[in-house]
Chains A and B, each alone.
Chain A
Amino acid sequence: MDDKEITRKFRKGLYVFIGLLIVEVAEYIIGVRVTSGNFIFMVLLAAPGSWLIVHYFMHIKELWIPPEE
């Protein structure tokens, strides 16, 4: 039962990582190809990237919703 739960959470982590990968590669492509005025794109990509980490990896919700025991 525990192994299934671990596998489920590992898979969730992998999906978050893939999302972060997409964000980083998109930033790189825009940063290298768009020769001027890409600041707004960087902000629009960095913000959701950091949210993915803060929400799914850092569990910021635990500050106001206690974790399940």
Chain B
Amino acid sequence: MSTQSEVHTTSHDEFSMKRVGLWIFILSETFLFGALISTRFYLQGVERPDHLNQPLGLAISLVLLMSSLAAFRGEVAVAHNNQQKFRKNIIATIVLASIFLIGVGWEWYEAFHYFPPSSAFGTIFFTMTGIHAFHVITGIIALIVIVRMGSDGRFNSDSHWGVEGVVKYWHFVDVAWVFIYPTLYLVN
């Protein structure tokens, strides 16, 4: 029969393992984005086309940062058992992420005219933003899942690994964009 401390230690070890596993996954994704960024500089050096929509690039970057703040607040709220603040902030994250995707869509619409996928910069631009957008979409789906689970009362201050995992993934998506944005838009 397990003692109280053995049960506590097992629970703690379980969360440690989950965190390590998540960070290993994040590390693997870092290699993917690292390879894409390297490709940019290999194919195109530090040149950038004149027709990049700089204000739009900055605007969507700020929107993504705001979504990261909202996700952080959602995680803090559920860790303190505040279900209302958790739900509001995760929904805000989803809304901001959707606005980001609309912005990327507008960028693509403009980019097709000036640097289509057949051009060197176009290949890089559409591949990097496309793969990043795919991560955003999967992140939105995961955020919707945790909102639904939260509404069913599945998370509380003692048990919210689902929220922690999804929010960490979301922050990684933001970190990736912190590097992608200057790589595509600003380096010269």
Bound-state CA distance A38–B181 (Å) is 14
List the count of A-B residue pairs having beta carbons below 8 Å apart.
95
**Inter-subunit contact A27/B186 (CB<8 Å):** yes
Using known A-B contacts A13-B72, A13-B76, A58-B171, determine if residue A31 contacts B178 with beta carbons closer than 8 Å: no
Convert B41-80 into 0s and 1s, putting 1 for each residue whose CB lies closer than 8 angstroms to a CB of A. Answer: 0000010000000100110011001101101110011001
Count B interface residues, CB 8 Å: 38
Contact check: which of B171, B172, B186 meets A38 at CB < 8 Å?
Answer: B186
B187 touches A38 (CB 8 A): yes
* Distance (whole angstroms) from the CB of B79 to the closest CB of chain A: 9
A64 to B16, CA, bound (A): 9
Total contacting residues, chain A, CB less than 8 A = 39
The interface residues of chain A lying within 8 Å CB-to-CB of B73 are: 10, 13
Segment 159-188 of B: residues with Cβ below 8 Å from A: 168, 171-172, 174-175, 178-179, 181-183, 185-188
Chain A interface SS verdict (over half)? helix
Partner of A53, one of B23, B66, B68: B68
- A46 and B178 form a contact (CB under 8 A): yes
Q: Which of B12, B62, B174, B186 contacts A21 (CB 8 A)?
A: B62
- Residue numbers of A with Cβ under 8 A of B are 2-3, 5-6, 9-10, 13-14, 16-17, 20-21, 24-25, 27-28, 30-32, 34-39, 42, 45-46, 49-50, 53-54, 56-58, 60, 62-63, 66
